[in-house]
Amino acid sequence: MVGTFVFILAGPILWAIQLTAIYGSQSALCAAGIGTSSGGGNALVLWSVVIASLIPAGVATWAILAPAASYRLLAGERGDAAQWGFLRGVMRLLTGLSILAMAYAALGAVFLPECASLR
Amino acid sequence: MRFLKRAVPAIVAPAALAGCSNIQSAFAPMGVEAERTNVLFWVMTAGGTLIFIAVLIAASVSIFGGERARKLLAREWFVTAAGIWFPVVVLSTLLVYGFIALGAGAAPERAQNGLKISVEGELWWWRVTYERPDGTVVETANELHLPVGEPVQVALTSTNVIHSFWAPRIAGKLDMIPGRTNTLTLTATEEGVSRGQCAEYCGGAHALMSFFVIAQSPEEFEAWLAAEARPAEEPEGEAETRGRDLFFAAGCGACHTVRGTAAEGTIGPDLTHVGARRSLAAATLPNDAEAFADWIVDNQHIKPENKMPAYDIFSDEDVSDLARYLEGLN
Amino acid sequence: MSTTEEKKLPNSGPRPEHELEDLKRVWATPKGIRLVTAVNNTVIGTLYIGVAFLFFVLAGVLALVMRMQLAVGDNTLVSQDLYNQLFTVHGTTMMFLFAVPAVEALGVMLLPQMLAARDLPFPRLSAFAIWAYVIGGLVFFSTIFYDLAPKGGWFMYPPNTLTEFSPGDNADFWLLGIGFIEISAIAGAIEIVVGVLRTRPPGMTLAKMPIFAWAMLIFAAMIIFAFPAVILATMLLEIERAFGWPFFSAELGGDSLLWQHLFWFFGHPEVYIIFLPAAGLVSMIVPTMAQTPLVGYRLIVVALIATGFFSFGLWVHHMFTTGIPGLSLAFFSAASMAVAIPSGIQVFSWIATIAAGRKRFRITVPSLFVLGFLFIFTLGGLTGVMVAIVPFDFQAHDSYFIVAHFHYVLIGGMVFPLFATFYYWAPMVSKKMLSERLGKWAFWLMFIGFNVTFFPMHITGLAGMPRRVWTYPSNLGWDVLNMISTAGAFVIAAGVLVFIIDLIRNFRFGEGGAENPWGAGTLEFLPNDVYSTRSIPHVTSREPLWDNPDLPREVEAGLHYLPNAPTGGRETIVTSAVEAKPQYVLQMPGAGWTPFLAAAFTAGGFLLLTIKEVGLGIASGTLAILLCLLWTWQLDKPSQGEVDIGGGYKLPTYMTGPNSHSWWAMVVLMLVASALYISYFFSYLYLWTVSPDVWAPNGSPAPPSLVFPVGSAAMFAGGSALMAWLGKRLPEPNVRTPGVPAGLVIAALLLGGGVALEILGHMQTGLDPTASSYGAMVYMAPILTGQAAFAAIVMCLFAGARHLRGGMDKQRRVTFDNAALLYYYTAAQGVFGLVLIHGFPRLIG
């Protein structure tokens, strides 16, 4: 039962993990001044954003491509076909939106210095 | 873009400004950041208007449209196309535009002229301090002078509650938070006077915590700063002199500074050149003898809860003399 | 349905006549003064929505006063001090006393009927939550009449709300009043989660759930994760105000931004907490008016879930102007973009559904309000995207542009659907329908008035007018715009007034209203009485009433499940969460004085504490706890053996373990507690990053020797082991042994002892909670655990007492299981706290 819900919510959960990881590491590193250059850049932050985005996005992509396998992993045996079609459809779309949200968040690091206040 | 910048304000601005002043309006930018944001605003408004009209048309067709048009809208692919793919394209573009506009506030245009300005949020006024490259410090209040064309860094702080420094015609707002120093880079693009106001609710007289921004040519700015740095001049007239004596006798110097005299209080605004400012009480009153008099006697009605006690101990003549002394500090 | 083949229904008719009488007797609503003891969802749901609407009107009147003050510049109609109270109370009332309670009320009122359940699974908890809200809310609101109202804004930012800048009890009224209403919201949320997941009719799988049930499920889940953040924030602020622990004072290592993080971690989801149920209502009304199933049901489910999640990634967009790094802002700007997509999906799904109808969309009053909602909400959504773009927000933030934006989103997104709901679902609780003619007047006045009021504010804001100003100089170009807004506000008020007239003329509470007047397809339009539906239908599609036109008659004839009251009391069917397979029959409590009295004394306790009547406050609180115990003493009815509900299902009437509804409620409560503790964990680390200089070992006493935390952990672990051991050795029914209560008392002592030892350890190092934010945070950990421990201890003692009275044994063990669950949770949280408090300073040292 819990597994079924985790399966549906896999994408958003991964998105939440990504946001926590990138925002947490960025604000902690910037606040502590670890690795920040004079212009407000910080390679450490950049790398943590890249890594913390690629891993959840990769897992999410796998879930979209292999829904049956991920369901088995999380919830065990599938119920009837109509129910499965609904669960799979919801999971895929949610995960797709979550990957988009992850990409949006990571995009900031492409355009902006990591620690500058930009005012 | 150019066209947008001109045409759309021409339609909306008259309604906005209906025969009035636009001294505090973000629609009339005169600073680098405010101009950039104004363009961003009109681009988004134009795009948003188009999308809104499209939604209204789709909704109208779904209700009143012909059989075939309605069939077209009744498909799941319409929801997917209009509700997912179209927003993804628009939002992605806009997000990148937003990031670029945000990134434009970055370091390159940082101030190089060695001038340090800090503004402190007080209850409920602004303490403005200029530190010149030679280390001299000039304090004034409720008025920010800027040299046109030069990026100036303004350090924003507070030791009481949270305030927010907002001069809409120059740039967007930035908060003043106890324990933190936020730095805002301001670049005025044309000469002129504009107004700003506290944008973070700070209790009591939040509504009456405004200020003026005077953007002037670099030469005028330097001249103004040099004048501001001088100590106060001794009063000349009889009434003014009496006013000065009353000022000291009543203990005004405990809270206010008048440089060059024994008044060295730092609780209230520096009054060294108060007569030369554009307003009293953080842009609440005009700056003339009458306003000074009103303020001294009646300030708790003019600006409730402000930290200066009302001085109703003075006779009318006392008040008038005091006012003339203060007005003469210019 | 086919006429050639005999339909196989769960029960055969005709049913014995006494069944209907039994149901009527068992579910009867108390009369007269005893009405306050009622727990039926339609009765208390109507009270709930009625009081929420009252607060809407009251807060609206405050808005009118503010609009009069702002009509012209330099106005002196209202004083500065009163105005500051007015906007604080307006915002607080609209958000906490109107919007959230109103949607929660709709959940209480509509969900059981939509799910064809007899009632929500914890009727007395609903009653308690509602009465607590009614009493606490009315007292809170009344502070505006005697100059005691808070004036820090509904967001209550410190330092402005610290004692130094806000002396007096005003701010405390906000903190305690709201803290307590939050608790009532959480109680309601637990009810709704368990209700939606476990009391659906047989056959209603997740994929067949009405959209409103989905929306309420997500709504409740969001409350569970969002509200604890603001509860922690209010606790910290009240502790700082009362005892001087510096969580928010910069000079002692606190940070006022901590409040903003916690407040908005709640505050942004809050907006969607309000909007999602309203969107769910729209998704119910649109298909009915179009007489066709929703186009893109699955897309809408996805949109609701995505909104629920993404809304937790937006909180920093209220902090764009605080000067934190640009990239931090970018992360949240990105999430704000992402959350726009689900709203787009829903808007176009509704348009597609309207287009899909075989006949044209029926323009009724509910449809008008829905269309008005579409118009206004779309505009609000577009300005929402604008303010999500960081540089634009630098200008728009805290200006009237924002006032315009969020009124578009909230009034458009919630109030208009709510009015649609009033008209659409009135027949469920009223003998008469509301008037279509008056309704149309109300709609047009409100729609036009709304746009006249709020559209100009976009311009006012960018013309430079900040929010929360009680007056403005009249030479700044804002006068005309403000005058227009004021005029519009009175037009809205006229619309609401027309609605009230309609209510007075036509609303008559009671059963027997028109049956399915709109031709809807969902279960709440089945024939209804005090017992909800006569029998609980077997569901095979999303619009059962459309797919089986005979269903209302079948249900009324008692041919579906549970057409009677086999245990002689109130009961409903509990089904599995995903597939909705019948699992057991839940015996529910009926009317009683305890929920009402417990709520009254809880409210009394909070309010007495607010006015610093500590002794009386504690007395009132203790009385409330005793009443709660009295109330729970009557619960957990023994098994009545198996009952036949029809369709070949013979179901047990008592359930323990992970299938039990109370086990679920306990788990949800643990989620609430852990969300609270995670907020605390975040706060601890956050203040460290802000002020590493006061953290041990840099400026504060080093943590105590490891003997203390190891001792505490041993007590927590030992107590848990004892509980587990007891759980395996509960005696058979009718065997009473003093060993059980003795064991429970020892376990309780161990739990309390563990918490006490931790506090003692820090006290002997000389750590002072008022000296630094580090000290304050360190003591906060055992306080939070102590809170949970207190509840666990009470439950242990309760279970022990029940055993002595023969109410708890190997079979009838729900009270023990619940106590044990909370015990394990508390112990785990305690150990986590020990690791953090004793480990972290050593790690960074």
Span C307-324, average pLDDT: 94
Question: What are the residues whose beta carbons fall under 8 Å from the beta carbon of C598, sequence distance 6 or more?
Answer: C128, C624, C627, C628, C631
Q: What is the pLDDT of residues C146-165, one digit of tens each?
A: 899 999 999 999 999 999 99
Q: Establish whether the linkage from the previous residue to C517 is cis, with ω within 30° of 0.
A: no
B61-75, C452-466, C813-827: range with lowest mean pLDDT: B61-75
Note the Cα C737 to chain centre separation in Å: 41
**What confidence category does residue A33 fall into, taking pLDDT thresholds of 50, 70 and 90?**
confident
pLDDT of residue B18: 44
Report the phi/psi class of residue A69: left, alpha or beta, with left for phi > 0 and alpha for psi in -120 to 50. alpha
Max mean pLDDT among C41-45, C315-319, C750-754 falls in: C750-754
Q: What is the pLDDT of residues C482-536, one digit of tens each?
A: 999 999 999 999 999 999 999 999 999 887 778 899 999 999 999 988 898 999 9
The stretches of C35-156 forming alpha helices (DSSP H) are 41-70, 80-92, 100-114, 123-142
CB contact under 8 A, A113 and C327: yes
Residue C1 confidence (pLDDT) above 50: no
Interatomic CA distance for residues C804 and B199, integer angstroms: 63
Instruction: Give the side-chain half-sphere CA count within 13 A for C30.
Output: 14
Q: What 8-state DSSP symbol labels residue C645?
A: E
How far is C382 from chain B, CA to nearest CA, in Å?
6
Picking from B121, B200, B178, the residue whose alpha carbon sits closest to that of residue B154 is B121
Q: What is the pLDDT of residues A61-98, one digit of tens each?
A: 999 999 999 999 998 877 777 788 999 999 999 999 99
Q: What is the pLDDT of residues C649-697, one digit of tens each?
A: 999 999 998 999 999 999 999 999 999 999 999 999 999 999 988 998 8
Parallel, antiparallel or unpaired: strands B279-280 and B126-131: unpaired
- Across the interface, of C207, C330, C334, the residue whose CB is closest to A101 is C334
Interatomic CA distance for residues C212 and C106, integer angstroms: 10
pLDDT of residue C6: 54
Provide the residue ranges of all domains of chain C, joining segments of one domain with +: 43-246, 270-511, 659-844
Give contacts of A113 with chain B, Cβ < 8 Å.
Answer: 103, 106-107
Interatomic CA distance for residues C725 and C712, integer angstroms: 20
Interatomic CA distance for residues C216 and C196, integer angstroms: 8
Q: What angle do CA C180, C183, C186 make, to 5 degrees?
A: 155
Q: What are the angstrom distances between the C-alpha of C659 and each of B74, C327, C585, C586, C632?
A: 42, 46, 12, 11, 20
Question: What is the SS3 assignment for B210-265?
Answer: EEEEEEECHHHHHHHHHHHHCCCCCCCCHHHHHHHHHHHHCCHHHCCECCCCCCEC
Picking from C59, C63, C61, the residue whose alpha carbon sits closest to that of residue C51 is C59
The rounded radius of gyration (Å) of the Cα atoms in chain B is 26
- Across the interface, of B99, B100, B183, the residue whose CB is closest to A119 is B183
B226 vs B4 pLDDT, higher one: B226
pLDDT of residue A82: 79
**Beta pairing partners, B137:** B131
Residue B140 confidence (pLDDT) above 80: yes
- The C residues from 646 to 705 touching B (CB cutoff 8 Å) are 690
The mean pLDDT value of chain B amounts to 90
Span C307-329, average pLDDT: 93
C243-271 b/e with 16+ CB inside 10 Å = b?
Answer: eebbbbbbebbbbbbbbbbbbbbbbbbbb
A116 in any annotated domain:
no
CATH H-level, domain B109-229: superfamily: Cupredoxins -  blue copper proteins (2.60.40.420)
Residue type, C670: M
Parallel, antiparallel or unpaired: strands B210-216 and B143-147: parallel
Residue A57 confidence (pLDDT) above 70: yes
Residue type, B32: V
Give contacts of A112 with chain B, Cβ < 8 Å.
Answer: 99, 102-103, 106
Domains B109-229 and B238-328 are alike in CATH topology: yes
Give contacts of C338 with chain A, Cβ < 8 Å.
Answer: 97, 100-101, 104
CB contact under 8 A, A108 and C334: yes
Q: Which CATH architecture has domain C43-246?
A: Up-down Bundle (1.20)
For chain A, the farthest-separated pair of C-alpha atoms sits apart, in whole angstroms, at: 60
- The C residues from 178 to 217 touching A (CB cutoff 8 Å) are 205-207
Q: Is domain C270-511 annotated with CATH 1.20.1080.10?
A: no
Provide the residue ranges of all domains of chain B, joining segments of one domain with +: 2-105, 109-229, 238-328
Instruction: Count how many domains chain A has.
Output: 1
Span C65-69, average pLDDT: 97
Domain B238-328 fold is Immunoglobulin-like (2.60.40)
Residue A114, phi then psi, degrees to nearest 5: -70, -35
Residue A1 confidence (pLDDT) above 90: no
Q: What are the angstrom distances between the C-alpha of C566 and each of B103, B109, C410, C573, C693?
A: 70, 80, 46, 12, 68
The packing angle between helices C326-338 and A10-32, to 10°, is: 170
Question: What is the SS3 assignment for B59-79?
Answer: HHHHHHCCHHHHHHHCCHHHH
Decide if C457 contacts C400 (C-beta within 8 A).
yes
Interatomic CA distance for residues C379 and C455, integer angstroms: 10
A103 in any annotated domain:
yes
Of all residues in chain C, what percent carry a pLDDT higher than 90? 86
pLDDT of residue B16: 45
pLDDT of residue B14: 44
> Among all residues of chain A, which has the CA nearest to that of B91?
A104
Q: How many residues does chain B have?
A: 330
Give contacts of B22 with chain C, Cβ < 8 Å.
Answer: 463, 477
Q: What are the angstrom distances between the C-alpha of C504 and each of C110, C433, C499, C770?
A: 22, 12, 9, 56
The stretches of C199-296 forming alpha helices (DSSP H) are 211-243, 256-290
Span B245-250, average pLDDT: 93
Decide if B188 contacts B149 (C-beta within 8 A).
yes
Residue B218 confidence (pLDDT) above 60: yes
Q: What is the pLDDT of residues C585-637, one digit of tens each?
A: 999 999 999 999 999 999 899 889 888 889 999 999 999 999 999 999 888 88
A14 in any annotated domain:
yes
**Beta pairing partners, A102:** none
Residue C229 confidence (pLDDT) above 70: yes
Q: What angle do CA C709, C711, C713 make, to 5 degrees?
A: 65
Interatomic CA distance for residues C417 and C443, integer angstroms: 11
Q: How many residues does chain C have?
A: 845
Interatomic CA distance for residues C445 and C498, integer angstroms: 9
Judge whether A113 is closer than 8 Å to chain B, CB to CB. yes
Neighbors of chain C by Cβ distance (3+ pairs < 8 Å): A, B
**What confidence category does residue C845 fall into, taking pLDDT thresholds of 50, 70 and 90?**
confident
- Across the interface, of B95, B182, B185, the residue whose CB is closest to A107 is B95
Interatomic CA distance for residues B295 and B271, integer angstroms: 14
Interatomic CA distance for residues B265 and B193, integer angstroms: 29
Q: Is C511 exposed, middle or buried (0-12, 13-18, 19+ CB in 10 A)?
A: middle
Q: Is B174 helix (H, G, I), strand (E, B) or coil?
A: strand
Interatomic CA distance for residues C104 and C223, integer angstroms: 10
Q: List, as own/partner pairs, every contact residues C706-712 make where C-beta atoms lie below 8 angstroms and the sequence separation is at least 24, other chains included.
A: C706/C838, C707/C761, C708/C757, C708/C758, C708/C760, C708/C761, C708/C838, C709/C758, C709/C761, C709/C834, C709/C837, C709/C838, C711/C754, C711/C757, C712/C754, C712/C755, C712/C757, C712/C758, C712/C761, C712/C830, C712/C834
Question: What is the SS3 assignment for C804-823?
Answer: HCCCCCCCCCHHHHHHHHHH
- Across the interface, of B88, B105, B174, the residue whose CB is closest to A100 is B88
pLDDT of residue C612: 85
Interatomic CA distance for residues B176 and B201, integer angstroms: 11
Of all residues in chain C, what percent carry a pLDDT higher than 70? 99
- Per the structure, the complete domain to which residue A59 belongs is given by 2-111
Picking from B306, B325, B303, the residue whose alpha carbon sits closest to that of residue B314 is B325
ipTM for this prediction: 0.96
Q: How many CB atoms lie within 10 A of CB C358?
A: 8
CATH number corresponding to C659-844:
1.20.120.80
**What confidence category does residue B13 fall into, taking pLDDT thresholds of 50, 70 and 90?**
very low
Residue C553 confidence (pLDDT) above 90: yes
Interatomic CA distance for residues C709 and C707, integer angstroms: 6
Q: Which helix (H) or strand (E) holds C436?
A: helix C436-462
Picking from B147, B150, B157, B148, the residue whose alpha carbon sits closest to that of residue B118 is B157
pLDDT of residue C197: 96
pLDDT of residue B6: 45
Residue C4 confidence (pLDDT) above 60: no
**What confidence category does residue B107 fall into, taking pLDDT thresholds of 50, 70 and 90?**
low
How far is B225 from chain A, CA to nearest CA, in Å?
25
> Among all residues of chain C, which has the CA nearest to that of A11?
C306
**The token pair that represents C767 in the structure block:** 């750590």
A61 in any annotated domain:
yes
Residue B110 confidence (pLDDT) above 80: no
Domains C43-246 and C659-844 are alike in CATH topology: no
Span C301-325, average pLDDT: 94
A117 in any annotated domain:
no
Interatomic CA distance for residues C305 and B106, integer angstroms: 37
Residue C544 confidence (pLDDT) above 90: yes
Interatomic CA distance for residues C433 and C417, integer angstroms: 18
pLDDT of residue B7: 44
The mean pLDDT value of chain C amounts to 93
Judge whether C298 is closer than 8 Å to chain A, CB to CB. yes
Q: What are the angstrom distances between the C-alpha of C84 and each of B148, B173, C407?
A: 38, 22, 19
